[in-house]
Amino acid sequence: MNPSTLRQFWSLVDATQAATLMALDDTKLVEQLIEQLKKQCSLNSSQTDMISAYIRSRIPLVRDLAQTRQLGYA
């Protein structure tokens, strides 16, 4: 995965409402973030699989960031 895609992903997480990130189950969260990322950059199936695995491994961090925003610490 290239650095540009990673930057776009984390920018997307930052731009997504915290309540949305917290409300979705893990599967739906990954699906939504992938779909939003696909709108910003073209991903082939290999890249999609790679970013999906990356997102799944970072779900706790994504939720921690969202919770921090909901509590008003960020």
List per-block mean pLDDT (blocks of 10 residues) for the chain, which spans 74 residues.
91 95 96 95 93 97 94 74
DSSP the chain: --HHHHHHHHHHHHHS-HHHHHHS-HHHHHHHHHHHHHHHS---HHHHHHHHHHHHHHHHHHHHHHHHHHTT--
CB 26 within 8 A of CB 56: yes
- Round to whole Å and give the CA distance between 66 and 25: 14
What pLDDT score was predicted for residue 1? 77
